[in-house]
Amino acid sequence: MALVQHFEDTKGRGLTLRQGINAGLRAEFRENPDTFLWGQDIANKEKEGIFLVTKGFQAEFGEARVFNAPIAENYIMGTANGFSRYSEKIRVVVEGAEFADYFWPAMDQYVECSHDWYRTRGQFTPNVLIRLASGGYIGGGLYHSQTIEGSLANIPGVRIVYPTFADDAYGLARTAMKSRGPTIFMEPKALYNDPRTRCQIPEDFHVPFGKARVRREGTDVVVFSYGNALLMALKAAEECSAGASPAQAGGTLPPAGPATPISVAVVDLRSLVPLDTETILEWVKKTGRVVVAHEGPEFGGFGGEVAAFIAKEGFEYLDAPVQRVGAKFSPVPFSTNLEPAILPQPGDIAKAIQEAARF
């Protein structure tokens, strides 16, 4: 337990999301000397990454393995792809962009990474973990608040994970670093230091791809979620289970009638590509009523894929239409007063739960 304990606070409450990512990557860097990390401001001794996620890496692993890249996202992705060709043992971690919003200049190299295994008939695949600080709720405005998994998931050949809690971040990072092929590692930056993400983590903990995690049991409605929206879903589920109305839970519209307790399950998807369709279908069968909630835009968002799968494979088990919750189809405002009007809130999820329950 030495590595994990090294990052724990003095009160022994476990690791935060940020610390969990750091500890997971650090464990793999210690195990495999052919691991490398670069990105913008990664190795600055004053900063060590804009959010301190990789704090201490250059000090421990040296300048030959941990170093800064220019402010050129396309270059960062291209060099990661090319460098990983030297040896099958090599594992590269890159901060694809300091914020997910700035990953777009790297998209052509992202596509190159996604296609390499296919076009070489399995002879080569870039063993690259691509970290992206994602999402809003920080008052970041247009260029520091996007979560872009809906766009990235449309390109085959790359795994996409989106952990919320420290143990999942630790376990998914370790699994990705041991696996062949590229992985997008989406990190909800608003939660980096959130005490709600703290977990005690076993030293050798790994999380498999394509496996969701049940965060809350329930019988009436199930919410499928991930990232920032997952904590909101857990809050909404608690409020609805206690009989609160959406307005009481932070929403804007009252229910059609008196609120009654609703037993709400919450499933953390955490792995988007591959997606755990087996667990999704299992909980559709158990509850018959579904809410899909995520932070990205509802229009064209990843939740549409989840809802479409349920409609195709689980239609006979549904007792109500699938409810979807996502951001409004708008840029994210800089103003912290306007941001909540665009990004989903716990009350929006509570309202969707109520509507599914009373259909």
Q: Report the amino acid identity of residue 132.
A: L
Per-residue pLDDT, 1? 45
Of 8-22, 67-81, 147-161, which gets the smallest average pLDDT? 8-22
Does the pLDDT at position 124 exceed 50? Answer: yes
φ and ψ at 131, to 5 degrees? -85, 135
Q: Partners of 216 in the beta sheet?
A: 266
Determine the 3-state secondary structure of 186 from DSSP: strand
> What does the buried/exposed string (b/e) look like for 216-242 if buried means 16 or more CB atoms within 10 Å of the residue's CB?
bebebbbbbbbbbbbbbbbbbbbbbbe
Residue 288: how many other CB atoms lie within 10 Å: 18
Does the pLDDT at position 146 exceed 80? Answer: yes
Contact 157, 343 (CB under 8 A): no
φ and ψ at 259, to 5 degrees? -75, 135
Per-residue pLDDT, 13? 79
Per-residue pLDDT, 6? 52
Per-residue pLDDT, 98? 87
Reported as a pLDDT band with limits 50, 70 and 90, residue 157 is very high
d(CA 127, CA 241): 44
pTM for the whole structure = 0.93
Catalytic residues: 144
For the segment 159-187, what is each residue's pLDDT rounded down to a tens digit?
A: 999 999 999 999 999 999 999 999 999 99
Residue ranges and CATH numbers for the domains of the chain are 2-197 (3.40.50.970), 213-357 (3.40.50.920)
Reported as a pLDDT band with limits 50, 70 and 90, residue 254 is very low
Give the closest residue to 332 by CA, choosing from 323, 345, 341, 320. Answer: 341
CA 319 to the chain's CA centroid:
29
Helices 277-287 and 303-313: angle between axes, nearest 10 degrees: 60
